[in-house]
Structure 1
Amino acid sequence: MSSHYFIGIPIENSVKEKCANWQQELRHSMSYKVWTNPHDLHITLKFLGDCTERQIDEWAAHLTKVKALPSFSLKAGPAGTFGDKKHPRVFYVNVERNNLLLEIKELIEEVGELLGFPKEKRDYLPHITLAKKWQGGESPIYKGGNYFNEQLELLIDRLHIYKIHPKSKAKYEIVATYNLKEDQRGATYKDL
């Protein structure tokens, strides 16, 4: 039997805590069917969908290439939305489109094509989902509130392959981890 998987970047605990505070504040003005469990907060790089264990093993073997990439920092925030500005279907934290992040995304898309996974056609908009499937209320961003304008510093030092458990409270299980190099700021994956 196969399961659904994705590749993503974990969020450090201090940023998870801030995002959880934003979720609590957001609950005062909006209701959503799905609130991301703070343990599950991440930046998605590629949704893999339904995969066999063999396919995940192939991904795992190819993703060792990212170990040569440098760790880096980027900014997250302010908050943003997908869908109607007043009643957005998704409320999230923006993530900076850093060149190193985009290189990692490109490498993953190239590996995916090699393994028979279609390349994502949409423009990559990195973000941290706080809530999805709007049910009621008005966006505090639409109302002109500035509570969600803060910027946070994120250290990007690893990525994971996650297995999705849709019926669990914390839905994402880490099945593989790839640490990025420390203090190698000048390298890019094209140098591999």
Structure 2
Amino acid sequence: MRLFVAIEIVPPLRDAIASLRGSLAGVRWTDPLSYHLTLRFIGDVRDRARQEDIHHALMAIRAPTCTLSPQGPGVFEQEGGLDRLWIGVARSDPLMHLQRKVDTAIRRAAGLQVERRRFLPHVTIGSVARPPPPVMSAWLTQWGTVPPPPADATHFTLFRSLRGPDQPLYDPLAEYPLG
């Protein structure tokens, strides 16, 4: 079972982000129902006891509600593949506190290594073959001036990732309250 921990993006923030759909040609847009902010990728966990350890570790987390303050869009350039479009989320103290607690709990429960990449809070909104630089630059500038309104996150979720026909499907397994 391929697992990750994330904050699900719900209305009205989900609707505001979804308004970008169709604003750039050639993009395979992510289904808005799949919008999430990953706190920690876990990976494939087949052992039922380890899955339960992860669930119990996440249940023990106590963290305050955090406000998700969207920023402008960005792009992760991928070699030989599709670039990923995303909406950034400001690194607030409550969000960073939650991410550290989740990371620590998962490392202990699942025996994972320390994540080497710096945590960059974002919501993936689509993938695209690299458009010409002037087109991408204009799109980033246009949509970077009007970020969506902030929203409060009241829980985080343990998800299972499944292969879908076109895009992965994310099945929520358990929700954990904040606040």
Q: Which TM bucket (shorter chain)?
A: 0.7 to 0.9
Q: CA RMSD in A?
A: 2.2
For 1:1-192, what aligned pairs fall within 5 Å after superposition?
3-26=1-24, 29=25, 31-32=26-27, 34-52=28-46, 53-66=48-61, 68-83=62-77, 89-115=83-109, 116-132=111-127, 134-138=128-132, 140-143=135-138, 145-151=141-147, 152-167=149-164, 171-181=169-179
Q: Tell me the secondary structure at the aligned position of residue 57 of structure 2.
A: helix
Code of the residue aligned with 1:150 in structure 2: it is V
CA distance in 1 between partners of 2:146 and 2:50 (Å): 40
TM-score, scaled to structure 1: 0.80
User: Structure 1 residue 170: deviation in Å?
Assistant: 6.8
Percent of pairs identical after alignment?
Answer: 19
Q: Closer, same or farther in 2 for the Cα pair 1:23/1:54, shift >3 Å?
A: farther
**Structure 1 residues 141-185: Cα deviation after superposition (integer angstroms, max 9, x where no partner):** 51264134322202111000001111256710100100112xxxx
Q: Structure 2: where are the runs of 5+ without partners? A: none
User: Structure 1 residue 88: deviation in Å?
Assistant: 7.5
**Would you say how many aligned residue pairs link Structure 1 and Structure 2?**
171
**Structure 1 residues 29-70: Cα deviation after superposition (integer angstroms, max 9, x where no partner):** 3x24x531110001001111101233221111011222x321
User: Structure 1 residue 136: deviation in Å?
Assistant: 5.0
Q: Which moved more, 1:134-143 or 1:91-100?
A: 134-143
Q: Structure 1: where are the runs of 5+ without partners? A: 182-192
TM-score, scaled to structure 2: 0.85
